[in-house]
Amino acid sequence: MPNKISKIAVMCSGGDSPGMNAGVRAVVRTAIYHKLEVYGIMRGYSGLIEGDIFPMDSRSVANIIQRGGTILKTARSKEFLTPEGRAKAYEQLKSRGIEGLVILGGDGSFKGAEIFSREFDIACIGLPGTIDKDIAGTDFTIGFDTAVNTAVSAIDKIRDTAESHDRLFIIEVMGRDAGYIALHSGIATGAENILIPEAKTDIEEVVQSLQEKEKRKKMVNMIVVAEGDDFGGALDVEKYILENMPGSEVRVCILGHIQRGGSPTCLDRFIASRMGYHAVECLINGKYNVFVGIKNNEMNYIPLSKAVKYKQHIGSEWLKIGKILST
């Protein structure tokens, strides 16, 4: 591993998330403050392998803190999964004298960084950028707050029309195999049922609860289902309900990629700025191959090797709270 770092690069990898631009801006400006040379890498590991790398200065990150997406673009690279791909990536960095790499991305991106840092003398720092919030060791991931607020505002709108028509709505939210967006948006919108992969979905019980509500003339119901739920997505839930409660007024809304876009919330800009600053501090202080998290309002540095092994955990009490409050 390098003793002292004078050139670093920053990139985004995997699915984009609102706030990535704020993170890139923080990395670039902190690096410049420390008189480091800083490069941007386009399209994640793919751009790294192809040498799509350019020098950045303070002005190159002006007026981006409020913008969704990422100015560096992002990608999921199959080639980086191969030793040959990683060797090409290393050559691109070595030929430019770049010793440190900051990667904004999710656990898949951290996995790549972890292998890369074991194979080559490049110091890697991860910044948790994912709407899914599925990385253990940090209370926040960049983009989750914006995504969940987008989901909340969409579900509120759906409830308006559901109320007018006395309808049951099944709303599918993103999260891959994690249920955080569903749990938070479901509780915040008073959803009658929240289905997440972290808890076994009892679909019979969902139907029974709808039948019970029908008896007491509670016709408006919102089911928020995580895309990775063990029973299935919104269309599977709809099919089951229609088979078991024929004639029900059911509508499905799959929120999809709108959850990934939009101007980042204050919280996402704030944590991205804080994490981006600390990513560079790590490189300056020789704290290598970690990802930068925030736990109980303190910085938490987790070895990349651990980041890829542990998952966030959702306590069962949360679903109980959702149920009690929405009856």
Pick the catalytic residue: 16, 57, 107, 132? 132
> Which candidate, 310, 305, 311, places its Cα nearest to that of 110?
305
Residue 76 or 159: the one with the smaller Cβ distance to ligand F6P is 76
Could you write out the DSSP letters of every residue in 4-66?
S--EEEEEE-SS--TTHHHHHHHHHHHHHHTT-EEEEETTHHHHHHHT-EEE--GGGGTT-TT
At residue 140, φ and ψ (nearest 5 deg) are -130, 145
Q: Could you tell me the sign of the dihedral formed by the alpha carbons of 113, 274, 71, 67, in that order?
A: positive
Pairing of strands 290-295, 298-303: antiparallel
Residue 7 or 76: the one with the smaller Cβ distance to ligand F6P is 76
Place of tokens 């600390």: 278
Least Å from the CB of residue 307 to ligand F6P: 15
Between CA 292 and CA 31 the distance in angstroms is 16
Residue 85 or 175: the one with the smaller Cβ distance to ligand F6P is 175
Q: Which letter does DSSP use for residue 265 in this model? A: P
Catalytic, 121? Answer no
Place of tokens 């998290």: 293
Residue 106 or 322: the one with the smaller Cβ distance to ligand F6P is 106
- CA–CA distance from 286 to each of 216, 277, 325 (Å)? 64, 15, 48
Least Å from the CB of residue 189 to ligand F6P: 18
Rg for the chain, CA atoms, rounded: 22
Least Å from the CB of residue 142 to ligand F6P: 12
Residue 288 or 291: the one with the smaller Cβ distance to ligand F6P is 291
Binding site for ligand F6P (CB under 6 A): 15, 106, 130-132, 174-176, 227, 260
Between CA 146 and CA 262 the distance in angstroms is 8
CA 86 to chain centre: 24
Between CA 236 and CA 221 the distance in angstroms is 17
Residue 86 or 260: the one with the smaller Cβ distance to ligand F6P is 260
Catalogue the active-site residues: 132
